[in-house]
Amino acid sequence: MKKEWPLWEIFIRSQHGLAHKHVGSLHAPDAEMAVNNARDVYTRRNEGVSIWVVRSADIVASSPDDKEPLFEPSNSKVYRHPTFFPMPEAVKHI
């Protein structure tokens, strides 16, 4: 084989109504074969009911160097969690 097959990222939705989840990657010459191969490589034990394949080259990812500017701001905003607000014992169903 002269030409290297492109890499595809594989996402599988399991039976239980959850979102598609990234499970790994594989090589295939086109999208159709990527789905076929994903069936064999990632769903040999009924792991899913739906497969998405996306060319790895088409994925835009955040860079590890941006970790602080991206995620640091949410650290200080603890009031976004319900546990930030203590409720009086007497108040129910809240």
Which one of 18, 57, 60, 61 is in contact with other proteins (CB under 8 A)? Answer: 61
| Number of other residues whose CB lies within 10 A of the CB of residue 63 | 7
Which one of 16, 17, 64, 93 is in contact with other proteins (CB under 8 A)? Answer: 64
Does residue 7 bind other proteins (CB under 8 A)? yes
Sign of CA dihedral 33, 52, 9, 59: positive
d(CA 37, CA 8): 10
Query: Which chain residues interact with other proteins by CB under 8 A?
Result: 1, 3-4, 7, 24-27, 29-30, 32-33, 40-41, 44-45, 61, 63-64
